[in-house]
Amino acid sequence: MQEIRHVSMAPTRAQWLAPGTGIDAHRHDDHQIVYAGRGVLAVTTDAGSWIAPATRAIWVPAGTVHAHQAHGALELHLVGLPARDNPLGLDRPTVLAVGPLLRELILAYTRAPHDESPERGRLRAVLLDQLRASPQQPVYLPAPTAARLRALCAILHADPADDRTLAALGKEVGASDRTLSRLFKADLGMTFPQWRTQLRLYHALVLLAENTPVTTVAHLCGWSSASAFIDVFRRTFGHTPGAHRP
Q: How far apart are CA 113 and CA 120, in angstroms?
A: 9
Q: Look at residue 3 in the predicted model and tell me its pLDDT.
A: 63
Q: How far apart are CA 9 and CA 36, in angstroms?
A: 20
Mean pLDDT across the stretch 11-39? 91
The answer on pLDDT for 46 being more than 70 is: yes
Ramachandran bin of 62, using left for φ above 0, alpha for ψ from -120 to 50, beta for the remaining angles: beta
- Percent of the chain past pLDDT 70, that is, above it, reads 96
Domains 5-140 and 144-244 belong to one CATH topology: no
Amino acid at 18: A
Domain positions in the chain: 5-140, 144-244
pLDDT level of residue 245 (50, 70, 90 thresholds) = low
Q: How far apart are CA 16 and CA 7, in angstroms?
A: 20
Of the ranges 18-32, 86-100, 142-156, which one carries the lowest mean pLDDT score? Answer: 86-100
Q: Are the C-beta atoms of residues 58 and 69 closer than 8 Å to each other?
A: no
Q: Are the C-beta atoms of residues 16 and 69 closer than 8 Å to each other?
A: no
pLDDT tens column, 58-80: 999 999 999 999 998 889 999 99
pLDDT tens column, 178-230: 999 999 999 999 999 999 999 999 999 999 988 899 999 999 999 999 999 99
The answer on pLDDT for 1 being more than 50 is: no
First-to-last alpha carbon distance for the chain, in angstroms, is 30
pLDDT tens column, 109-139: 998 778 888 999 899 899 999 998 998 876 7
Q: Are the C-beta atoms of residues 235 and 201 closer than 8 Å to each other?
A: no
Options 2.40.50.140, 3.40.50.300, 2.60.120.810, 3.40.50.150; which CATH number does 5-140 get?
2.60.120.810
Domain 144-244 carries which CATH code?
A: 1.10.10.60
Q: How far apart are CA 146 and CA 185, in angstroms?
A: 12
Q: Are the C-beta atoms of residues 27 and 65 closer than 8 Å to each other?
A: yes
Q: How far apart are CA 77 and CA 59, in angstroms?
A: 12
What's the predicted TM-score (pTM) here?
0.84
